Structure 1
Amino acid sequence: MDWYRIVFETIDMRSFSNLWFWIALAVMWSSTSHWVLGVPFDMVVRARRTGTDGPAAADLEELVRINVTRILYIAEEAGLWIVAIGSAVLTGLAVLGWVYWIEFAQACFLLGFPMSMVGLLSVVTAARIRREGLGGPAMWRRLSMHRLGTQIIGMVSIVVTALWGMFMNMSVNVLGG
C-alpha cells in the first residue's frame, strides 16, 4: 500500500465532501456558542438560578471581569495587527477560493469569516460591559444577548456553508471535476 494514497484518501482535500470538515464545523459552532466571552454559559444559567447573592454569581462576575479585561487588552495592544493580518488571510482565502476555485480555501474562508464576526462581537460586548459597569442580572442579559448573536451568526454560517457545500458536491459530480 502506498502511504501517501492512504493519507489522502483518509484526509480528502475536497473539503465539502469530507466528513471531518462537517464534524469540525459542528464542533466549532457548538463550542463557540457555549463559551460566551471565554465564560461557559452554564455559569450564567447557574448564577440566574441561585440569584445575585450566591457564590455562582460572584464566580461568574469575577470570570467575566478577567475575560473582559483580557479581551480589551488584546484589542488595544494588538487589535490593529489582528485586523490587518486577519483581513489579509481572509482576502487571500477568498481569492484562492472563488477566483482560483480551490475548494480547501473556500472551506477555510467559510469557517474563518464568521468567526471573525464573532470575534468583533466579543470585543464590542466586552467594551460595553466595561463601559456600562454591568454586573448581576444586567450582565447576565448582555451575555445572553451575546450568545444569541453568536448563535445567529452560527446558524447563518452553517446554512450558507451547507448550501455552498451541496452546490460544490453536485457540480463536481455533474462536471466530473
Structure 2
Amino acid sequence: MDLFSTLSEAINLRSFSNLWYWIMLAVVWSSTTHWVLGVPYDMVVRAASQGGEAEADLNDIVRVNVNRILYISQMSGLWIVGFGTFFLTLLGLTGFVYGVQLSQSVFLVAFPMFIVGFLSLRTARRLRRDGPTGKALHKILQRHRLVVQGIGVVSVFITALWGMYQNLNYMIPDHIIRPLG
C-alpha cells in the first residue's frame, strides 16, 4: 500500500458516511442554541425564575456581549462578510459543481451559521437600540433562540437528506440505479 491510500483510508474525506461529521454537526447546533448572543441560555431561565442578582448578572453579560458583537461588526464587519461570502462561494462551487463531498459538508454547516451570525447582529442592534431589561429582555432572547433552533432543525434536516442521497449514490452501483439499454 502506498502512503496516499493509507492516509485516505484513515482520514476518509467522504464526510456524510463519517460518524465524526454527524457528532460535530450535533455539537455545533447544540452549542449554537445554548449560547444566545454569547449568553448561556440557563442564565436567561434562572433570571426569569429567580430575578434579583441573577437578573442583574444577565443584564450585565448581555450588555457586554452586545457591545462586543457591535464593536466587531463596526471594526471588521465588511471584511468578515467579504471573506465569509468568498469562503461560502468557494465551498459551494467546489462542493456542488465539482462534487467534492468535504466542501459540501462544510458548506451545509457554514451557510446556516452565517445566517445565524446575521440574525445575532440584528438582535444585538435591537438590544442596543431599545435597551430592554427584565421580561422584555427574556422575551427577545427566547425568540432569538427559537429562531436559531428553527434554522438548526431545517439545516440538520437538509444535511441529513443530502447526506443520505450522497451515501446511496456512492454505495449503489450505477447499473442498479440506471436501467440497462
TM-score relative to the length of structure 1: 0.94
Residues 15-52 of structure 1, C-alpha deviations (whole Å, 9 max, x = no match): 0000000000000000000000000000000001112x
Q: Which amino acid aligns with 2:28?
A: M
Counterpart for residue 148 of structure 1 = 146
Counterpart for residue 69 of structure 2 = 71
The within-5 A match list for 1:4-83 is: 7-51=7-51, 54-83=52-81
- Offset, 1:172: 0.6
Q: Which amino acid aligns with 2:127?
A: I
Residues 57-104 of structure 1, C-alpha deviations (whole Å, 9 max, x = no match): 000100000000000011111111110100000000000001100000
SS at match of 1:64: helix
Q: Which amino acid aligns with 1:122?
A: S
Q: CA 1:59 to 1:152, structure 2 compared with 1: closer, same or farther past 3 Å? A: same
SS at match of 1:13: coil
Q: CA 1:95 to 1:175, structure 2 compared with 1: closer, same or farther past 3 Å? A: farther
**Structure 2 Cα separation of the partners of residues 64 and 7 of structure 1:** 46
- In the alignment, structure 2 segments of 5+ residues that lack a partner are 175-181
Q: CA 1:38 to 1:84, structure 2 compared with 1: closer, same or farther past 3 Å? A: same
Counterpart for residue 107 of structure 2 = 109
Identity %: 54
- Offset, 1:2: 7.2
Task: Name the count of aligned residue pairs.
Answer: 174
Q: Which has the larger Rg?
A: 2
Counterpart for residue 177 of structure 2 = none
Counterpart for residue 138 of structure 1 = 136
Q: CA 1:71 to 1:2, structure 2 compared with 1: closer, same or farther past 3 Å? A: same
- Offset, 1:133: 1.1
Please tell me the root mean square deviation across aligned C-alpha atoms, in Å. 1.5
Counterpart for residue 121 of structure 2 = 123
**Structure 1 Cα separation of the partners of residues 10 and 53 of structure 2:** 48
- Offset, 1:135: 1.1
Moved over 2 A (4+): 1-11
- Offset, 1:5: 5.2
Deviates more, 1:133-142 or 1:62-71: 133-142
